[in-house]
Amino acid sequence: MGLGLIAASRSRGRTGRGGLIALGVVLSFALIAAANEPWRGGDHDMGDRVYRPGSADAVQPEYHGGIGDMELDLSVVGVSDLHGPVQTHVDAGVGDVTVLVPRDADVRVTIDSGIGSVAVFGEEGRSDGYFEGQGSGSWVGDDEPEIVLNVNAGIGDVEVSRG
């Protein structure tokens, strides 16, 4: 709008200045109305999010984020007496995603990332696979994951590491 008004002011005659001014007034009122409307989007709000479930039962099947960084901290989830793997899906739009898993958990990771770097347990560019836990528990390294993690990220870096 501003560039159109500047161009119209430099030219001779009536070359649509009135139309640009009227359009500018209408757009100004629309901008005021939009700026004063509260943003409601449920799980897709803007802003950074941190999730820290304290047990395997508290882990949600899905975590959603719209615009902003997201951290999912599963590092305190006990995996020694699970009856099956903890499965969760992270769906992020724009922003970095960080997931922390317990040190002694075997983890199966699948990442679908649009734009941004991916690092899984320190390996740059690795986006999927089975990763053996660290420790001496009987469940460690048995080819049965305690955590199954799927990450779908649009724009932003993705990092999965041990807490």
Q: How far apart are CA 18 and CA 14, in angstroms?
A: 8
Q: How far is CA 18 from CA 45, 133, 149, 157, in A?
A: 39, 69, 58, 47
The confidence score (pLDDT) of residue 2 equals 67
Per-residue pLDDT at 105: 86
pLDDT at 42: 52
Q: pLDDT tens digits for 3-35?
A: 766 666 666 666 566 666 777 777 777 777 666
pLDDT at 159: 93
pLDDT at 56: 87
- Whole-number Å distance between alpha carbons of 107 and 59: 15
Q: Which amino acid is at 60?
A: Q
The pLDDT assigned to 163 comes to 82
What confidence score (pLDDT) does residue 96 get? 94
pLDDT computed for residue 12 by the predictor: 66
Below-70 pLDDT ranges, the chain:
1-2, 4-20, 33-45
